[in-house]
Amino acid sequence: MSEIIKLSATELAKKLRAGEVTAVEAVQAHLDRIAEIDGGDRGLNAFLHVNADEALAVAAEVDEIRAAGGTEAEALHPLAGVPIAIKDLIVTVGQPTTAASKMLEGWMSPYDATVIEKIRAARMPMLGKTNLDEFAMGSSTEHSAYGITRNPWDLGRIPGGSGGGSAAAVAGFEAPLALGTDTGGSIRQPGAVTGTVGVKPTYGGVSRYGAIAMASSLDQIGPVTRTVLDAAYLHELIGGHDPKDSTSLNEPVPALVDAAKQGLTGDLSGVRVGIVKELTGEGYQAGVQERFNESVEVLKAAGAEIVEVSCPNFKYALGAYYLIMPSEVSSNLAKFDGVRYGQRVLPEEGPLTIERVMGATRAAGFGDEVKRRIILGTYALSAGYYDAYYGSAQKVRTLIQRDFDAAFEQADVLVSPTSPNVAFEFGAKSDDPLAMYLNDVATIPANMAGIPGISVPGGLSEGLPVGIQFLAPAREDARLYRVGAALEKLLEDSWGGPLIDQAPELAAATTGGAA
């Protein structure tokens, strides 16, 4: 394996600046890795599209600017030349955006998402678009219309979801950085089960313009990386106010890199960490609970004050989420009707009216999970049920916010396992939607309240990664980076290196080339 791909984004950026590695070499090393392990019957299939030509061209520009020196070279962003992978829910000019749905097969966006504009402005080469559950609906990436993505830790297991492609790409050293989206845990849960770092920023902290909307009051774009410091650099780049997103916070991005660097000193004196009683114990695998307990001890040894907090209304969070999210889904996905973009499928018989074309198009274009959520949302919003379901769920949202408010009076950050279980085998939960939904029980409350969350590697259970989640009050993302980086550093000291170094070496895929 090339040494370049093992570097963190921060280390690679340093070598690029020092001239020890060129951006073209960095991009090529990752493209080679993708060609080697992504395709074929046992490949990761993290990528739906590989953007080799453009990525190499952008890298060559960076190298030229650096070689020429002067003010333009000095003005380069710290991450210039560092390659990145993009979840295929985020629209990009020049590359197809499919949302992993047949509905959008081959769709070419006429505009860039705001986060993509920022990545272009920073001259970061985009390696390609990563796989996901269709329209980001799922926790395993098994609901993609373009095949499953494999977990680099065990090719027979799920990489989490919906952002399984971005997490697997980063865990498998196909990319040092990726973007994800998190509506109920789709950045953090894949991070947990692949031994990587995933951050869901404060709602409104990163522009959602150009992220194909799933549930607009819950969706958030965020970083997918192998280290907390890398996530801080990427978060600072993509964050900030965007007039094109009317839910964007008109506030400066917090000093996240500084917070991560402070955390890397390993000192958490004076930090109050709250264990959420309702997010531990029953329902959590024993191995997950053990790693969690050990992490709490590590935080305590670093000087943190550990308190227990109770959030009694969290027991309603999953139910309320599965009313609010599908309701917003049913509205947001109404636009995929075969008229302005995407597939159009004609009914096999009977009169050819637009209504029947829509019915046939949506029947053929959407997968089962998407249909399930649209129907559930249509039900929750229909006359006679609205108050009992959607209305009640919105009240639960208030109760969850109040629980968090009370908890954050006692603690600066909250801690829990990110996912109740380690990565499961393919097919283990795909016939039981409810069992699948339970994967997100610890991540959903943050989306309901709009607060930020991070998942960092917390060790292994039966050879598979366990994630530790921290949550902070809205706008206090910096706290996550401080505490997350401290835990990362102290655990890595005890392991003798990053957790990802314990992942098995991936053999070259047996058949075929890159996806």
Site for other proteins in 304-363 (CB under 8 A): 313, 316, 318-320, 322-323, 330, 334, 337-344, 346-347, 351-360, 362-363
Respond yes or no: is residue 246 known to be catalytic: no
449 lies in the site for other proteins, by CB under 8 A: yes
Respond yes or no: is residue 186 known to be catalytic: yes
For residue 160, give the DSSP letter: -
Q: Are 143 and 161 in contact (CB under 8 A)?
A: yes
Nearest CB to other proteins, comparing residues 430 and 461 = 430
Q: Output the furthest CA–CA distance in the chain (Å, rounded).
A: 72
Near other proteins in 18-57, by CB under 8 A: none
- Residue from 25, 433, 495, 502 touching other proteins (CB under 8 A): that is 433
C-beta of 143: minimal distance to other proteins in Å? Answer: 14
Which tokens belong to 198?
Answer: 């995933």
Nearest CB to other proteins, comparing residues 179 and 323 = 323
C-beta of 250: minimal distance to other proteins in Å? Answer: 8
C-beta of 386: minimal distance to other proteins in Å? Answer: 11
Nearest CB to other proteins, comparing residues 69 and 351 = 351
Which helix (DSSP H) or strand (DSSP E) does residue 369 occupy?
helix 368-380
Strand 413-417: give its sheet, edge to edge.
Answer: 47-50, 126-130, 84-87, 177-181, 221-225, 197-200, 453-461, 464-471, 413-417, 272-276, 305-309
Respond yes or no: is residue 494 known to be catalytic: no
Nearest CB to other proteins, comparing residues 353 and 410 = 353
Residue 302, CA atoms < 13 Å, CB-side half-sphere? 28
d(CA 212, CA 133): 13
Nearest CB to other proteins, comparing residues 109 and 166 = 109
Number of neighbouring beta carbons within 10 Å of residue 173: 23
Cα 476 → chain centroid? 19
Q: Which residue among 101, 140, 144, 186 is the active-site one?
A: 186
Number of neighbouring beta carbons within 10 Å of residue 357: 17
C-beta of 464: minimal distance to other proteins in Å? Answer: 27
Near other proteins in 161-220, by CB under 8 A: 202-204, 217-218
- Residue from 265, 398, 410, 510 touching other proteins (CB under 8 A): that is 398
C-beta of 182: minimal distance to other proteins in Å? Answer: 13
Nearest CB to other proteins, comparing residues 112 and 154 = 112
Q: Are 31 and 55 in contact (CB under 8 A)?
A: yes
Number of residues near other proteins (by CB under 8 A): 74
Near other proteins in 470-489, by CB under 8 A: 474
Which tokens belong to 70?
Answer: 């002067």
Q: Are 100 and 134 in contact (CB under 8 A)?
A: yes
Near other proteins in 91-120, by CB under 8 A: 107-108, 110-111
Q: Which residue among 8, 87, 140, 416 is the active-site one?
A: 87
C-beta of 402: minimal distance to other proteins in Å? Answer: 9
Near other proteins in 222-261, by CB under 8 A: 243, 246-247, 249
Q: Which residue among 162, 166, 207, 327 is the active-site one?
A: 162
C-beta of 189: minimal distance to other proteins in Å? Answer: 19
C-beta of 240: minimal distance to other proteins in Å? Answer: 15
Q: Are 486 and 264 in contact (CB under 8 A)?
A: yes
Q: Are 170 and 225 in contact (CB under 8 A)?
A: yes
Nearest CB to other proteins, comparing residues 310 and 461 = 310
Contacts 24+ apart (CB under 8 A), 388-391: 389/323, 390/323, 390/324, 390/327
> What x/- string results for residues 366 through 395 when contact with other proteins is judged by CB under 8 A?
x----xx-xxx-xx--x-----xx-xxxxx
C-beta of 321: minimal distance to other proteins in Å? Answer: 9
Nearest CB to other proteins, comparing residues 268 and 325 = 325
Number of neighbouring beta carbons within 10 Å of residue 281: 8
- Residue from 310, 401, 430, 461 touching other proteins (CB under 8 A): that is 401
d(CA 298, CA 430): 36
Number of neighbouring beta carbons within 10 Å of residue 151: 32
- What residues pair up with 50 in beta bridges, in sequence order? 128
Nearest CB to other proteins, comparing residues 374 and 411 = 374
Which tokens belong to 459?
Answer: 């060790």
- Residue from 283, 399, 428, 430 touching other proteins (CB under 8 A): that is 399
The contacts of residue 182 (CB under 8 Å, 6+ apart) are 163, 188, 198, 200, 219, 220, 221, 222, 443, 447, 453
Q: Which residues are catalytic?
A: 87, 162, 186
